[in-house]
Chains A and B, each alone.
Chain A
Amino acid sequence: MMSFYFSRLVEIYPFFFTGLWMTCKIAFISLFTCTILGFVLGIFRAGDNKILKFIIGIYVAFVRGTPFVVQIFIIFFILPEWGIQLDAFPAALLAMAIMGSAFICEIVAGGINAVPKGQWEAAVSSGLSFVQQLRLVIVPQSMRVILPPLVGQYVLLIKDTSVVSVIGVMELTRVGWVTVVRIPEGLMVFSLVGILYFSISYPLILLSNYLEQRMAVK
């Protein structure tokens, strides 16, 4: 029986690759937007403007304090009631961007706060503009602190893309769901799903470990 299902699974393997491709697409696009958004938010969160700091603080607290599934439901099912109708794919990307940027914001703010105040003062005194201070002096130094947890966060975000299956995006986890209906061999199907996730995450886990060791040396 098992081998019968296995051969059927082999028959439909391209289906899994379309799922994997969708997962990669969501992961790649959202990691990109999360990183940019997270850095911008993190820079202001670590900055001097108290109002901005406070607003970003609320945003981060709210996003970190609610389950990701709930956030997706709000975006996909509640926003339409206010006239904002999104398809599943853009809704998934938006949800990922909001959730990921909040976590990355905290990592970036922590890294920037770890740079001694004197570095800002030296950069200010030499006449560098605010953007130059960040780009040339502060961010390069804070990367040592930011990079290891950032890559770790990437792994979490990639795995969190599985949650967007709840709104019908045909990514890897959804493919597993759909397949298991036709091939009732759950362990086999979801092992395959798991292995495919692992094949994306594991290199990043290794990278994170490597960075952690390298950055810790100095």
Chain B
Amino acid sequence: MIEFKDVNKWYGKLHVLNDINLKIEKGEVLVICGPSGSGKSTLIRCINRLEKIQKGEITVNETPVHTRTTNLTKLRAQVGFVFQQFHLYPHMTVLQNIMLAPVNVKHMVKGKAEEIAREKLVQVGMPEKSGAYPAQLSGGQQQRVAIARGLAMSPEIMLFDEPTSALDPEMIGEVLDVMVNLVSEGMTMCVVTHEMGFAKKVADRVLFMDEGKIIETGTPGQFFDNPQTERAADFISKILTH
């Protein structure tokens, strides 16, 4: 479903993605972890072309992403993205946030879009907040709305960039619950996170990155209990004691 072939990216001299080769199958849940600055966020930001790459190729559903002729609107309608800082539109209500892309990108009629938006709000467990503005919501609620906003486009893939890192500890659970439910519906997901509990519970594969390279991949069991590289072992011990 998603394929990276020899992908390289530099920020000036900094080699942020170094010969990335990766295949993500339909329905797979991939958790990406690694120290900060390892390139894990950049990796998933390249999938919907929030970032450009300098070498190699990324395809989504066999369609190359980084070409001049890529239909970006179509690509981005297939790929939902959830940010660390939520990035809800502060001047719109929850419902308007969720309806914006379906109405303006998919040209859905308002009534239909609203129906879907309310459905998605039920799915993330906050149907009563449809008329609220983002500033009136807690961080956990905002992130759940952001997930609903992504889902409203009926994407085939959801990308999560540290979705719980900006949250107070007591709100992490409600967001992870929504994500776990999504897994059970068979959504293809790439999740950048340090939530080991989440990884152990639902990930099909864990990918460990450092200095722009994929150092190690494996099932959560293999990776957490029996890491193959010293760097991964070191990283795991650090997030365990933290």
Binding site for B on A (CB under 8 A): 116, 118-119, 121-129, 132, 136-137, 140-141, 218
Contact = CB atoms under 8 A, between A and B. Distances in A.
Nearest to B88: A122
Interface string B60-101: 000000000000111111011101010111110000000011
Interface in B116-137: 135
B89 A132 contact: no
B77 A127 contact: yes
30 contacts: A118-B83, A118-B87, A119-B87, A119-B89, A121-B50, A121-B87, A122-B81, A122-B83, A122-B88, A125-B48, A125-B50, A125-B76, A126-B76, A126-B81, A126-B105, A126-B150, A127-B72, A127-B73, A127-B74, A127-B76, A127-B77, A128-B100, A128-B105, A129-B73, A136-B100, A137-B100, A140-B91, A141-B89, A141-B91, A218-B135
Interface residues of B, number: 26
A124 B153 contact: no
A126 B101 contact: yes
Contacts of B101: 126-128
Contacts of B194: none
Contact of A127 (B83, B105, B135): B105
B53 to A, nearest CB: 16
Nearest to A138: B89
Interface in B131-145: 135
B189 to A, nearest CB: 15
Contacts of A125: 48, 50, 76, 79-81
Contact of A126 (B85, B91, B153): B153
A137 B150 CA distance: 16
Contacts of B100: 126, 128, 136-137
> Top 7 closest A-B pairs, CB basis?
A127-B76, A122-B87, A126-B101, A118-B87, A125-B81, A127-B105, A127-B77
A124 B105 CA distance: 11
Contacts of A132: 104-105
Contacts of A129: 73
B197 to A, nearest CB: 27
B63 to A, nearest CB: 14
Given A136-B100, A136-B104, A127 B153 contact: yes
